[in-house]
Amino acid sequence: MTIFHKIINREIPADIVYEDDLCLAFRDINAQAPTHVLIIPKVQIDSLDGLNSDHKHLMGHLLLKVPEIAKSLGLTDGYRITVNCGEDGGQSVDHLHIHLLGGRKMNWPPG
């Protein structure tokens, strides 16, 4: 169980911006941009490395939600999504999540 599981179960509060039966989106507690939202599946998947072919529909759903959520948050000039995976990828919570960042110009390459 991770902190995100507790957010899904409403055991700890979060600023939720979108929810449906498959996913939840809420503002990151340590925002790295004016808008920083995490989009997570409601089922526990540790990371990208935990995916299998059963997750095709779910992952397609999550990705399709990105532009919809970005639009609802007013990110009309673009945005970036990031999925950190594992130690070298900088993942700190073992529940798969898409970072949606916007509201400022992003740098490249990322750190």
Residues at the interface with ligand 5GP (CB under 6 A): 3, 14, 26-30, 38, 84, 90-93
CB of 63 to ligand 5GP, least distance (A): 17
Q: Are 24 and 9 in contact (CB under 8 A)?
A: no
Q: Are 81 and 99 in contact (CB under 8 A)?
A: yes
Is 95 catalytic? The answer is no
The rounded distance, in Å, linking the Cα atoms of 31 and 11 is 21
**CB-wise, 53 or 66, nearer to ligand 5GP?**
66
**CB-wise, 75 or 101, nearer to ligand 5GP?**
101
Q: Per the residue annotation, which of 5, 61, 97, 99 is the catalytic one?
A: 97
CB of 39 to ligand 5GP, least distance (A): 12
CB of 85 to ligand 5GP, least distance (A): 9
Please state whether the peptide bond connecting residue 109 to the residue before it is cis, i.e. omega within 30 degrees of 0: yes
Q: Of 94, 5, 69, whose CA–CA distance to 43 is shortest? A: 5
**CB-wise, 93 or 106, nearer to ligand 5GP?**
93
Q: Are 65 and 18 in contact (CB under 8 A)?
A: yes
